[in-house]
Amino acid sequence: MESGTRSFLCFVLAIVLVLCVVSVSSSNWIIHEMSKFGILQECSKIVGEPEKCWTPDFSNTQWLLSLVGILVGCLCVTVVIILLIYSKWDDYLLPLVGSIISVGAVFVCSAALTFPLGFSHLSMESQMFHLPQDFSVGSSYVTFSLALVVLSLCQLALVETARNGYRNFS
């Protein structure tokens, strides 16, 4: 694998990590009037008072599974970045990159599919995969979705590279 290609993939995968960390750490996954719901944080604001945020009790198993999927996916992406950097000096581990990024992509995709299953805990009217009328998807979920798309493109590039042989990829 050429140095420029390796550097570009490391850069793009680092962007995926940043997008995932930013989205998970924010409470803007689901928005409802004066309340915001996230995987690690929920916030509520009463008119005239500052916003109050707290860590959820993780009674929503689906969102906890989503968090685990995102964390495992981020761990896989980190390992791939380390292997790509290490391959500058010794490329005998490069064949593992395609498999590891595929495992990471499966976990992140599973998290994306598991998260909407937890909508039923938001209110009495909501069901799995269906938000009630007065709820909306927030910017953090959109950011996570963008990270998922970029990760999928990187995975395709790395798997294709593995299939064609790393030395011939330009």
Q: What is the pTM of this model?
A: 0.86
Of the listed ranges 16-20, 73-77, 126-130, 134-138, the least confidently predicted one is 126-130
DSSP secondary structure letter of residue 1: -
Contacts of 142 (CB under 8 A, 6+ apart): none
% of residues, the chain, pLDDT over 70: 91
Q: Is the pLDDT confidence value at 126 over 70?
A: no
Output phi, psi for 149, to 5 deg: -65, -45
Taken in order of first residue, the domains within the chain and their CATH numbers are: 3-164 (1.20.140.150)
Amino acid present at 109 = C
Locate 76 and state its tokens: 């896989």
pLDDT at 1: 60
Check pLDDT > 60 for residue 170.
Answer: no
Quick one: which of 66, 71, 81 has its CA closest to 20?
Answer: 71
Closest CA to 68 of 29, 107, 109, 99: 107
**Average pLDDT over every residue of 51-73:** 90
Measured CA to CA, the distance from residue 52 to residue 44 in angstroms comes to: 5
In the structure, what pLDDT confidence band is assigned to residue 14 with cuts at 50, 70 and 90?
A: very high
Centre a 10 Å sphere on the Cβ of residue 144 and count the other Cβ atoms it contains: 23
State the Cα–Cα distance between residues 122 and 127, nearest whole angstrom. Answer: 9
Closest CA to 119 of 132, 106, 128: 128
pLDDT of residue 120: 75
What is the pLDDT at residue 122? 67
